[in-house]
Amino acid sequence: MIKSFFDLLLTVLVVTILVVVVSTSSNLLWLNSMNMPIDFNLVTSTFLKDIVGMNFNSQIPLYLLISVPLILFLFCTKIISKRFLTNRIFPYVLSGGISMLLLMVLLPFALDNLEPISGSRTNIGKLCMTICGCLGGYLYGFRQIRNVDNEI
């Protein structure tokens, strides 16, 4: 149970970092399209500032926004897969992706059409955020299946 909780926290951390990378990349791509010069120092400093700013200096921390649906969906998937399914990664990938997609689609409704995560303003951004959730679900599912195999 403690390993599963640690795996959930690790997954939330990885997905949060991936979401920051996608959001920062989309903003930097837009700035580059406006003919602003972008170099490696700007990319790394912006990424580090966004990690701190989105998680510690904002009204709603990003890790909190991501952790609630992701933990809920992955934990429910773990319970369902223990009872009904064999140990497969696909349900975890699907639940991670669905949790992020629902977060990106439903969050603006809760915040009066405000997109708190700038990288999810477009459909391509929502797709990239969903892929981040899928990767997090894959990580969690892989770790859960590996833990089950080690116990046997």
In tens, the pLDDT along 52-107 reads 988 888 788 889 889 999 999 998 888 888 777 666 888 999 999 999 999 888 88
Q: If you ran DSSP here, which 8-state letter would residue 84 be given?
A: T
State the chain's maximal CA–CA distance in angstroms.
Answer: 57
If 0-12 CB within 10 Å is exposed, 13-18 middle and 19+ buried, where does residue 75 land?
A: middle
Task: Assess contact for 91 and 74: CB atoms under 8 A.
Answer: no
Task: Assess contact for 133 and 100: CB atoms under 8 A.
Answer: yes
pLDDT in tens, 7-21: 899 999 999 999 999
Domain that holds residue 68: 2-151
Which one, of 132, 143, 126, lies nearest residue 97 by Cα? 132
* pTM, rounded to two decimals: 0.86
Task: Assess contact for 129 and 20: CB atoms under 8 A.
Answer: no
Q: Coil, helix or strand for 60?
A: coil
**How large is the C-alpha radius of gyration of the chain?**
17
Task: Assess contact for 23 and 119: CB atoms under 8 A.
Answer: yes
> What's the number of domains the chain is made of?
1
Query: On the CB side of 39, how many CA atoms lie within 13 Å of its CA?
Result: 1
